[in-house]
Chains A and B, each alone.
Chain A
């Protein structure tokens, strides 16, 4: 029973975990002004490039940003709408199937009852 709920929240958990770090929030803030390369992102921070790369990886895994490498330059950009929409769609899709499977169970139980009641009536006679 718990498992589907956990699965449902894991994607959102990743987002919250990704945004739970001040450096990553600063990276997002910078990307909200437009796409930037990893080295451009590193500039305002007193951080090594390697540390920025790690933050970028966490953000990318969470779905908050996407990155694309052209030549030697990796460009990062925000994908907040894609993320928010995907979250919503997936949650809705799962919910609609959960409801369907509830109805499937109700249909099967109703069949059992329909099959059982004539027998019960017969046995009374």
Chain B
């Protein structure tokens, strides 16, 4: 039985912070700080959060969005170079089904007194495989939408 299918992508986000790499790194290393910016906010209900920030350590969050299904992230830290580099991988589940597994690389670079943060995530996303018929129907709908979009672009 094939239940899941996979697709892959990666993205990079760069941010500059006024603070030093030491300060930015501390916000990743300190559980209370990490919890505040990483796990809390925007209507998420955080059921539990644990961070053991060391090589071989695990970060675990259990949360829900409003009255939505349970979601989890489990992170494993592969490499930590203070104020410089964090390499971790994390798995995310949605309603107890594997949703994604990612390799995340965090690089910090000092720029005068400020910090350039570069976050790169390489992810495999998993989706439930639907029956071939619903797939064809979904396809027809998508193509109609795309066709309409192309016509709009051609007109403008």
Contacts and interface: CB of A to CB of B under 8 A. Distances in A.
B1 interface: no
Interface stretch (B9-17, B45-53, B78-86): B9-17
A11 B150 contact: no
A93 B17 contact: no
Chain A interface mostly helix, strand, loop or mixed?
helix
Contacts of B13: 4, 94, 97-98, 101
A16 B153 contact: yes
B117 interface: yes
Nearest to B149: A16
A105 B15 contact: yes
Contacts of A63: 7
B18 interface: yes
Interface residues of B, number: 41
A114 to B, nearest CB: 13
A81 B127 contact: yes
Interface stretch (A40-48, A53-61, A83-91): A83-91
Interface of B: 5, 7, 9, 11-15, 17-19, 23-24, 27, 33, 36-38, 41-42, 99-100, 117, 119, 121, 123, 125, 127, 130, 135-136, 138-140, 142-143, 146-147, 149-150, 153
Interface of A: 3-4, 7-8, 11, 15-16, 19-20, 25, 28-29, 32-33, 63, 78, 80-86, 89-90, 93-94, 97-101, 103-109, 111-112
